[in-house]
Chains A and B, each alone.
Chain A
Amino acid sequence: MPTKHLLKIEDLHHSFGSNQVLKGVSFSLNKGETKVIVGPSGTGKSTILNNIIRLVPPDQGKIYLEDTEITATKKINEVRQQIGFVFQDFGLFNHLTALGNIMVGLTKVKKMTKQAAAELALNELDRVGLKEFSDSYPSQLSGGQKQRVGIARALAMQPKLILFDEPTSSLDPELTGEVLKVMRNLAEDGMTMLVVTHEMGFARSVADELIFMEGGHIIEQGDPEQLFTEPVHQRTREFLFQLTDLYGEGGA
């Protein structure tokens, strides 16, 4: 058990206008861990992810990436390079090919040569099973393929961890499997991941820890098997069973 946390979140608060969505959330993530956050809509799950890379700076609380206090750093762009982000709506750049989407961060942010960037990008595309689609533009890809490009783009930056913000929520059910499979492989390869999702099957089988949130608080967190079979809180049980009924336990 490493003593130092890769990511540490302390007492996070956030409001949108008068609507307080986070009311003091703390947790941490060790290297190689996959943690899954579940909970009803509007509970602030995605806000946590946006807070972490300061796309939306938190109102209160501290976030650390190793020794760097993200909430205080002046070099936020350097921190963002170290944290991958996978979006619900993919966020692919429509004027660039699949390969170009992955290369642009490498050449323009990491200052890699075009050749080295192309080589790395192609490797990452291969890793998500899309090598033959390197020249396709986003409009020519299916939702599942787009999201896999999004994951490859995050991976190519060689981040210390990747945040997934409901990565399969915009996808047809038959396309979620291919994305979850890629994520499962990443987790097995030792990538550190923080995932917001409604995919209970994925949460149960892949997560090292499950975090159940409601009303801006963490209600319960722990081993997913335990939360599914003998949760401490009645509310956890209700929510998990309800979602399992809705979405099933399938999905990778």
Chain B
Amino acid sequence: MDNLDLIQQALPYLLEGTVVTIELTFWSLLIGIVIGLPLAFGQVYGNKALKFVIAIYERLARSIPLLVMLLLLNYGLPRLGLRIPVFRAAVIGIGLRSAAYQSQIYRGAIQSVGGSQLKAALSLGMSRFKAFFYIIAPQAIRIAIPPVANESAIVLKDTSLAFTIGVVELLRQGEYYIATSNKPMVIYLTVAFIYFVLTTLVNGGLSLFERKYQIPGIGIEGGHSDAY
């Protein structure tokens, strides 16, 4: 059988898996934001005890290999009487780790805007909330876009680990098709190509966003002075 024919036959199954991969990515990133943002606020504005607790969380979440985390959630927790469906287990594992990385991104972005702008905002009579909303956040978001794009691509690729606990996503669909066709090279390459397209879309989308809202002097591509 011709390779192109093989790909053509495999494609519907692979795309089915691709949808699951996208769902995994979406929910994991969402958990990452929903948990990561408060963690970042806690680290910037919290007291010492809170900062300490968050630091421990981040150290743990960034030190445990994702695969070990997924195995713990899927095979460890049921022994404690807690059984989580595999899709959810995967999203929780990937999301909790992403939260640790995303909180670092947001914390850095908030802190990089700088105390002198905060002081200036307060000196105008703004409340701390207004200063954050109108002065800090608009800049922090722009600064965070490139690292968030990077983190999104990492999460997208790492959803492939969910296949080890039985989530039928892109890679698992590929495995199924290899089992019946015995053509690992072609199928794996097709799977790799789909990941390539997905990450390109994620990065492209976010850099489009970045360019649309770009301001001279903010972010990596800023800093050029054309005043002279």
Contacts and interface: CB of A to CB of B under 8 A. Distances in A.
B139 A94 contact: yes
Nearest to A50: B119
A141 B117 contact: no
Interface string B20-32: 0000000000000
B164 to A, nearest CB: 44
Contacts of B124: 80-81, 104-105, 109, 153, 157
A33 to B, nearest CB: 21
A104 B121 CA distance: 9
Interface string B96-134: 000000000000000001001101111111110010001
Interface stretch (A85-93, A196-204, A217-225, A241-249): A85-93
B227 A81 contact: no
Contacts of A140: 216-217, 225-227
B138 interface: yes
A41 interface: no
A87 B120 contact: yes
A94 B127 contact: no
Contact of A105 (B126, B127, B142, B217): B126
Contact of B125 (A77, A138, A150): A77
A150 B226 CA distance: 20
A119 interface: no
B116 A87 contact: yes
Interface string A77-111: 11111011101011111110000000011001100
Contact of B123 (A55, A78, A141): A55
Contact of A93 (B117, B122, B216, B222): B117
A91 B120 contact: yes
Interface of B: 113, 116-117, 119-127, 130, 134-135, 138-139, 142, 215-218, 222-228
5 contacts: A83-B123, A94-B139, A105-B124, A141-B227, A145-B227
Given A91-B117, A95-B142, 20 more contacts: A53-B122, A55-B119, A80-B123, A80-B124, A80-B125, A81-B125, A85-B123, A87-B120, A87-B123, A89-B116, A90-B116, A95-B138, A95-B218, A104-B134, A108-B126, A109-B125, A109-B130, A139-B216, A140-B216, A150-B120
